[in-house]
């Protein structure tokens, strides 16, 4: 991976491309529980897997920075 200082070129891959490459190359899945492409049961499955592996999410109020 080449590193270019800000303003000196280089191309960033779009986030979905990074996620796609991670899945195809390494079997890593990065998905938002809020992704509109997912049905409710799929979102619920993702939420349950996340809680099983990493614990419950913090309340959104705690995550907001004023």
Note the pTM of the prediction, 2 decimals: 0.66
pLDDT at residue 8, as a whole number: 74
Q: What is the pLDDT of residues 6-38, one digit of tens each?
A: 767 678 889 999 999 999 999 999 999 999 999
Residue 48 belongs to what domain range? 32-56
Cα distance between residue 33 and residue 23, in whole Å: 17
* Number of domains forming the structure of the chain: 1
pLDDT tops 60 at residue 4: yes
Quick one: pLDDT band at residue 64, thresholds 50, 70, 90?
A: low
Structure tokens at 62: 């705690």
Q: For the chain, how big is the Rg over CA atoms in Å?
A: 16
Asked whether residue 2 is domain-assigned, the answer is no
Structure tokens at 27: 């079997």
Asked whether residue 51 is domain-assigned, the answer is yes
Asked whether residue 65 is domain-assigned, the answer is no
pLDDT at residue 60, as a whole number: 63
Q: What is the pLDDT of residues 40-49, one digit of tens each?
A: 999 999 999 9
Q: Which residues contact 50 (CB under 8 A, 6 or more apart)?
A: 33, 57
């Amino acid at each position: 991976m080449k590193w270019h200082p800000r303003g000196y070129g280089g191309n960033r891959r779009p986030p979905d491309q990074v996620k796609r490459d991670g899945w195809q190359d390494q079997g890593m899945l990065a998905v938002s529980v809020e992704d509109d492409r997912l049905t409710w049961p799929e979102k619920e499955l993702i939420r349950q897997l996340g809680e099983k592996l990493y614990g419950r999410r913090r309340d959104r109020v705690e995550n907001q920075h004023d």
